[in-house]
């Protein structure tokens, strides 16, 4: 979210470096959650949409067809803030 704080959809589409950085961060998030699901299934079940997040990571990593930049942008602006809030809650509970 820090990477896109000063960006809009048009800038995101036009900026290869920004898109690459954002996609890389999603790859890291997806891999971390994948590893969590392998090592602590009970905790992983507390994260809504975990399988969907891992699948998103897989599409980015393996480059299935072409990355849809609108999907990534919408994920940054819509889904990521909620995920961050959920993970922050889990971390403060633990």
| Residue 62 annotated to the active site | yes
Catalytic residue among 9, 38, 62, 84: 62
92 vs 70: CA distance, rounded Å: 32
Which two tokens mark 8? 């809009």
33 vs 55: CA distance, rounded Å: 11
Which two tokens mark 86? 């959920």
| Residue 38 annotated to the active site | no
Catalytic residue among 11, 24, 34, 57: 57
Residues designated catalytic: 57, 62
């Amino acid at each position: 979210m820090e990477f896109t704080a000063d960006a809009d959809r048009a800038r995101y589409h036009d900026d290869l470096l920004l898109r690459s950085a954002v996609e890389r961060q999603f790859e890291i998030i997806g891999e971390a959650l994948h590893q969590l699901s392998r090592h602590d299934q009970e905790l992983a079940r507390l994260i809504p949409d975990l399988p969907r997040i891992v699948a998103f990571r897989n599409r980015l990593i393996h480059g299935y067809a072409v990355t849809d930049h609108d999907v990534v942008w919408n994920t940054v602006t819509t889904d990521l803030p909620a995920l961050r809030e959920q993970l922050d809650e889990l971390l403060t509970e633990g």
